[in-house]
Amino acid sequence: MLTRRDFVAGLVAAPFLGLLRPARAQDGPRAKRLLIFSSPNGTIHRHWRPEAAAGAETRDFRFPTGSILEPLAPWKDRLVVVDGLNFLTGNNHEGGQAAMLTNGGGAGTPTRGMSVDQFLARRIGAEDRFPSLEFGVLTDLWGANIQTRISYSGAGELVHPDADPRRAFERMFGDLTGGPTEAARLKALRQSVLDLGRAELADLHQRVGRGEQIKLEAHLESLRSVEQSLFSDLTCDAPDAPDPLGKDDNDNAPALLSAQMRLAVTALACGMTRVASVQFSHTVSPVVFSWAGNAEGHHSLSHASDAQVEQVNAFVDAERWVAGQFGALLDLLKQTPDPAGDGTLLDSTLVLWAKEMGDSRAHVCEAVPFVLAGAVDGGRYLRANGESHARLLVSVCRLLGVEVDTFGDPTTSVGGLAGLA
C-alpha cells in the first residue's frame, strides 16, 4: 500500500502548475499573497512609536532601545510602519475588533461587510484548495463572538480560526493514504455524499422562510468549499504533523503560535491558499504572558496608567515578545523559497500586523498601529495624521493587484494611503 508520501511524490512531477508563469517586469516587489498577523489590546504609543524625521513619509527612523518595535530592528528595511490611522466605523475593544479588517460597511456596500482577507480571498484565491486559511492561538476559550473574531465573510458573518494546529494540519493535508484506485474511489464516494447533502439542502430550502433560507445557502456554500479542498490536487509533501498541544492552555501560547505560523507559511508555500491569517488571542484577552515574565492578564495591563510603572513595563515586555514573534514569522517566510522561483516567500507575500485599538488606556481607535512587511517597498515610516484606515485596506487590495477605491463603509474615504498604492 502506498503511503501519503508516496502518493504525493507521484504528483510532484507537475508542481505548482498554476504558478509557473514568466515573471513580469515590474517596479518593486509584487505581492502574490496576503498574510495577516493580529494581536490584541491596543498599544501605548510612547513605547511603540519609532523616532523619526518629520513628514508624512520618511526613511529616516529608528526603533528606540526598549521600545515595543525594537525586536524588529533587523527587519527595518522590509517594513512599512504606519502611524496615525483612525477607525471611523468602530471604537473601543469590540467596535475596534469588528472594524479592524472590515472598516464597517453593511451588506449594501461594495465589500459587503467582508474583512479584507476574505474579500481578497474571493478575488485572488477563489480556485485554490482553500480560498483562505485562518489560524488562531487561544481563540476558542470564550467561544465565538465579535470580540474573538477578526474575519468576516459578510456583514456580521464571523469566520472562525482553527485554534488547534494538529486539526488544522489534518484539514490542510487530508488523509490520502491509499493508492490511486483507492483515492479515486474515495473521491467518488465523497463526491456522492456531498451531492446528496446538497440535494437534501435544496429540498429543505423550499420549505422554510427567508431567514432560514439564508442559513441553508451558507451551508451549501460551505459544502462547495469542502469539495474544493478535498478534490484539488496537493502539490507538496506534508511536513511532520505538529505535536499535540492543549489548545486552550495559557502557557502553551508560544508553542501554539510557533506551530500555527509554520502551518500558515507551509500553506502559502504549497500553493494551498494565497490568503492566510494568524490571530494571536483577541481583544479583551486575559492571556497572561507568563513566558515574558508577566503575572497579570494582558487586558488589565493594557489599561495601566503611566503612573503604574511596573504594569506598563510588563505590558511593554509582552508587546515586545509579540514583535519578536512577528519577526520570527518574517524569518520563516524568508527561509522559504517562492514556489514559482521569484526569490523567497517574503518577497512575494504582503504581511500585515494589525491591532484593534490605538491607546488602550483610552479605549479609542485613533492612531491604531499597523506594520506592513514583505512584498512592499520597505524601510519607511508613514504618518497618516488621522486618515481613515480604509485607505490602508484599499492599499492592501491594490498591492495584491485588486483595484478598489473604497473599503467597507464607502463614505469614510476614497483612495489608498499616500505612500502605498
Within 377-416, the residues that bind other proteins by CB under 8 A are: 404-406, 409-412, 414
**163 exposed, middle or buried (CB, 10 Å; 0-12, 13-18, 19+)?**
buried
As measured in angstroms, the least distance from the Cβ of 358 to other proteins is 10
CB under 8 A: which stretch of 233-241, 274-282, 283-291, 333-341 binds other proteins?
283-291
Closest CB to other proteins among residues 111, 260: 111
Considering only residues 229 through 248, tell me which ones interact with other proteins, judged by CB under 8 A.
229-230, 248
Is residue 184 a contact point for other proteins (CB under 8 A)? no
Helix (H, G, I), strand (E, B) or coil at 296: coil
Is residue 292 a contact point for other proteins (CB under 8 A)? no
CB under 8 A: which stretch of 5-13, 36-44, 194-202, 261-269 binds other proteins?
194-202
In 10 A of CB 333, how many CB atoms? 27
Q: What are the residues whose beta carbons fall under 8 Å from the beta carbon of 335, sequence distance 6 or more?
A: 344
Quick one: which of 400, 271, 380 has its CA closest to 336?
A: 271
As measured in angstroms, the least distance from the Cβ of 150 to other proteins is 14
Considering only residues 116 through 155, tell me which ones interact with other proteins, judged by CB under 8 A.
134, 140-145, 153
CA within 13 Å, CB half, 1: 7
Considering only residues 92 through 121, tell me which ones interact with other proteins, judged by CB under 8 A.
92-95, 98, 104, 106-112
CB under 8 A: which stretch of 28-36, 72-80, 297-305, 328-336 binds other proteins?
297-305
Closest CB to other proteins among residues 47, 380: 47
Is residue 218 a contact point for other proteins (CB under 8 A)? yes
CB under 8 A: which stretch of 6-14, 27-35, 359-367, 372-380 binds other proteins?
359-367
Helix (H, G, I), strand (E, B) or coil at 289: coil
As measured in angstroms, the least distance from the Cβ of 11 to other proteins is 21
Closest CB to other proteins among residues 35, 390: 390
Find the helix packing angle between 116-124 and 390-399, rounded to 10°. Answer: 20
Is residue 219 a contact point for other proteins (CB under 8 A)? yes
The rounded distance, in Å, linking the Cα atoms of 305 and 319 is 16
Quick one: which of 266, 250, 274, 392 has its CA closest to 333?
A: 266
- Which three three-digit cell numbers place residue 84? 496615525
The rounded distance, in Å, linking the Cα atoms of 108 and 241 is 42
CB under 8 A: which stretch of 18-26, 267-275, 329-337, 356-364 binds other proteins?
356-364
As measured in angstroms, the least distance from the Cβ of 327 to other proteins is 26
Strands, sheet with 380-383, edge to edge from the N-terminal-most edge strand: 57-58, 380-383, 79-85, 368-374, 349-354, 33-38, 275-280, 133-137
As measured in angstroms, the least distance from the Cβ of 408 to other proteins is 11
**Beta strands, E only, 8-67:** 33-38, 51-52, 57-58, 61-62
Q: Which residue in 3, 308, 335, 385 binds other proteins (CB under 8 A)?
A: 308
The rounded distance, in Å, linking the Cα atoms of 407 and 411 is 9
- Which three three-digit cell numbers place residue 190? 465523497
As measured in angstroms, the least distance from the Cβ of 193 to other proteins is 4
Positive or negative, the CA dihedral 4, 255, 97, 81 is negative
Considering only residues 23 through 62, tell me which ones interact with other proteins, judged by CB under 8 A.
none
As measured in angstroms, the least distance from the Cβ of 418 to other proteins is 18
As measured in angstroms, the least distance from the Cβ of 241 to other proteins is 15
Is residue 295 a contact point for other proteins (CB under 8 A)? yes
* DSSP 8-class letter at 126: T
